[in-house]
Amino acid sequence: MSTEKEPLLSPKNLKLLTEPLGKSNPITVQVLGICSALAVTVKLKPSIVLAISVMVVMAVSNVVISLLRKSIPPRIRIIVQLVVIATMVILVDQVLKAYAYDVSKQLSVFVGLIITNCIIMGRLEAFALANKPWASLLDGLGNAAGYAVILIIVAFFRELLGSGTLLDIQVIPQAFYNAGYVNNGMMILPPMALVVVGVIIWVQRSRRKDLIED
Amino acid sequence: MENLVNIFVKSIFIDNMIFAYFLGMCSYLAVSKTVKTSTGLGIAVIFVLGFTVPINFLLEKFILKAGALTWINPTLADVDLSFLTFIMFIAVIASMVQLVEMVIEKFAPTLYTSLGIFLPLIAVNCAILGGSLFMQEREYANIAEATVFGLGSGVGWFLAIVGIAAIREKIQYSNVPAPLRGLGITFIITGLMGIAFMSFMGIKL
């Protein structure tokens, strides 16, 4: 079917998709897009919605920029990138307001802040400007997935330990509370998200010694 | 007047951009290796926030809000341009950052070279856009309140980045577990500082 010289999911392309999940994870290794990653992770549901939104924005804007890459003058590329991202974010924001109003209220300004999520800018600068659309799509999806994984891990622990629920369903049985278990109120507070990410980095780096900083 | 002081103190300590909302974390983590560059970036952020928030306040009030265009012509009362908010705000921010970049390049060339890529990246610093979006969400009554809020948020961000830079300069001499060095320990220290800053929440303003 495909007339491409390279198969659509060649090892090289597959690497674009999987590498950001671990070795070059946008949050724990490239240190991009931290802000939104931390602020919305009190509950699992808004985190998942934000992760999906970022994935959509990132995949589409990566492809658009990659298609335009030969006609964008380098001097105004940042403005062009911002306009493409902002347009996508407006679309996502309007869709969320229409179909998931309560979640969009919970996310408040953070949907708008996808515009300034440095992962998106960073990938556009570093990848989409120099690569073909299909590779850029995979790169966008891969990096957004790497972001989503961290977001969901952090939200999972914060919601489980902080409120005893997952996706608002009670997980920790009542018997535990009767036996004296108490929800850890600290986990709901914003600073604990940072500590959880710090621990994730710790775990990741003790398994992959090559990532250790001197 | 009292109200303005309240907003100022509140935006510095209680609603601190970094410790309460994690806005502008990327440049916060990347630039905070030395106190000197952090101070420079912090001042640039105060400056940009102090200008963009009031400018965006005016835009919001006279152009973007539902029915805001009535000052041109009463027939425009049902025009609602609020879906354009993000694009308008980011355009204002990008042009302000460009301006700041030129000013710093002219008057402080050493600072300009030490900030490098992070100066243009202020445009995508979420604290700046977040400042404008919070201004919109909290519906400040007049431009004075919006300006004070912008400046206060900038000062809060400045304090946070200078504080962490000072700690990071010292922690180089400590025996941190190897996998935690650098990024990991910075996250955890920021978390601890955040917990400390939360004690300001008890202040009733």
Nearest CA in chain B to A186: B195
**Of the candidates A130, A132, A124, the residue with the CA atom closest to the CA atom of residue A13:** A132
CA distance A13 to chain B (A): 28
The string of pLDDT tens digits covering residues B99-119 is 888 888 888 888 788 777 677
Chain B residues close to A118, C-beta within 8 Å: 26, 121, 124
Q: Tell me whether 0.95 is exceeded by the ipTM.
A: no
Residue A3 has a pLDDT of 47
The string of pLDDT tens digits covering residues B129-159 is 888 888 888 888 888 888 999 999 999 999 9
The residues near A134 (Cβ < 8 Å, ≥ 6 apart) are: A4, A8, A13
Chain A residues 164-183 with CB within 8 Å of chain B: none
Q: Which residue, chain included where needed, has tokens 């992962």?
A: A119
Res B72 pLDDT > 80: no
CA distance A24 to chain B (A): 14
What's the predicted TM-score (pTM) here?
Answer: 0.80
CA distances to A71, A124, B43, B86 from B100, in Å = 28, 24, 11, 21
Q: Which of A31, A35, A113 sits opposite B183 (nearest CB)?
A: A31
Q: How many CB atoms lie within 10 A of CB A51?
A: 22
The full DSSP string for A14-80 is HHHHHGGGTTT-TTTTS--SHHHHHHTTTSHHHHHHHHHHHHHHHHHHHHHHHHHTTTS-GGGHHHH
Give the residue ranges of chain A where pLDDT is below 50: 1-3
The string of pLDDT tens digits covering residues A159-170 is 888 777 787 778
Question: How far, in Å, CA of B47 to CA of A95, rounded?
Answer: 34
